[in-house]
Amino acid sequence: MKKSLLAAVCVLTLSFSACGSPAATPQTPAAAAQEIVNCGRTQKFDGTPKRILSMNQHATEVLVALGVTDRIVGTAYPDTPDVPAAIATEYAKVKTISQKYPTLEQLLGTEPDLVVGGYASAFAEKDGRGRDALEAKGIRTFLLSENCPDATAGIGTYTDDLGVLGRVLGATEAAAKLIGETTRAVDEVTAKVAAANRPAVPVFFYDSGEQAPFTVGGRGLGNDLAKRAGGRNIFADVPKVFGDASWEQVGERAPEVIVLVDYLGDNGGVDAKRRFLEAHPLASATPAVRNKRFVTLTLPDLIEGIRLPPALRTLTAGLHPDLAK
């Protein structure tokens, strides 16, 4: 994952499922005025936001799944060309204003009354997009809670965020539907893994990096997925959502499965990552590489968003193939 996209993680969150049809769900008008707390910041809304700018693909997918596509004035920083089928038609209607983060001028040009960010870097102060600066201009902001400073996120983080966004956007019924679908799907897999009562499989998430591996740490959704899938993230002790580790640690901790993280702008893609690991003097000696036990997940699969249930099923099948039957 691009390091520039990482940062803190936090807010209230909720869970999701890509099964819903965002366009077909009736919406409930938001209250005339309401107040929420997001990443420790109090936000006051005098009415339902009408012009939403969404930064980072997973945040945009959540908004589309909530059925507010007609109010999204733009999105930025896509991670993958693939969009979950349930929202693909609606998602295609959203205009991409920048392949990376927009300039302040581009942002203001969309005339948003709410900016939703998927990563803390969406609100980089050095680029003029800080939350204080935007809110001083009358633009409300919302950061997906996985990225709040010092947060430790789980599936509940996502479902909580869904609830908050549903109230703010007047989409309470759609939010409740997504929360229910997500919770049921996640609980089904979690129960199956628990009933099997297997030893946790050591798993290494390889995002990028040759000098040092950039990996999933212990504070994000990826770590929670590993535990629910019957795995043990070998870098759960890294106190970040994503962070650097060392190849010596990879060798010592001997992962039995490696998750290759796929996203746009990743030179060579997952095939190049696999070849690199197979040639690396330390990584190549791990049980995962020797036994060719690789799982591919996209970056949005491992962070807060609607892809979490199918990602959990894919990871569980990679760690415990017989449980996928």
**In this model, does residue 14 exceed pLDDT 60?**
no
Q: Which residues of 164-179 are buried (b: 16+ CB within 10 A; e: fewer)?
A: bbbbbbbbbebbbbbb
Q: What is the CATH number of domain 199-320?
A: 3.40.50.1980
With cut-offs at 50, 70 and 90, classify the pLDDT of residue 1: low
Q: What pLDDT sits at residue 16? A: 36
User: Residues 6, 146: contact at Cβ < 8 Å?
Assistant: no
Block residue for tokens 């199918």: 310
How far, in Å, CA of 177 to CA of 179, rounded? 5
User: Residues 302, 58: contact at Cβ < 8 Å?
Assistant: no
Q: For the beta carbon of residue 265, count every other beta carbon within 10 angstroms.
A: 10
Q: What pLDDT sits at residue 19? A: 40
> Burial, 249: exposed, middle or buried (Cβ in 10 Å; 0-12, 13-18, 19+)?
middle
CATH topology identical between 35-173 and 199-320: yes
Q: Give 54's contacts (C-beta < 8 A, 6+ positions apart).
A: 60, 63, 72, 74, 75, 76, 94, 115, 116, 118
Q: What is the pLDDT of residues 68-82, one digit of tens each?
A: 999 999 999 999 989
| CA-to-CA dists, residue 216 to 79, 225, 258, angstroms | 17, 11, 11
How far, in Å, CA of 238 to CA of 221, rounded? 14
Q: What is the pLDDT of residues 20-43, one digit of tens each?
A: 444 444 444 444 588 999 999 998
User: 3-state DSSP call for residue 21?
Assistant: coil
The mean of the pLDDT values for the chain is 90
pTM greater than 0.95: no
**In this model, does residue 9 exceed pLDDT 60?**
no
The stretch 291-320 carries a mean pLDDT of: 97
How far, in Å, CA of 302 to CA of 225, rounded? 8
What single DSSP character describes residue 123? Answer: G
> Burial, 42: exposed, middle or buried (Cβ in 10 Å; 0-12, 13-18, 19+)?
exposed
- Under CATH, what is the fold of the domain 35-173? Rossmann fold (3.40.50)
What single DSSP character describes residue 198? Answer: P
Q: What pLDDT sits at residue 324? A: 75
Q: What pLDDT sits at residue 33? A: 83
Q: What pLDDT sits at residue 6? A: 43
| CA-to-CA dists, residue 282 to 91, 259, 289, angstroms | 42, 17, 10
Domain ranges of the chain: 35-173, 199-320
The stretch 197-224 carries a mean pLDDT of: 96
**In this model, does residue 11 exceed pLDDT 80?**
no
The stretch 262-266 carries a mean pLDDT of: 82
Q: What is the pLDDT of residues 157-182, one digit of tens each?
A: 999 999 999 999 999 999 999 999 99
- Virtual torsion, Cα 78, 84, 304, 206, nearest 10 deg: -70
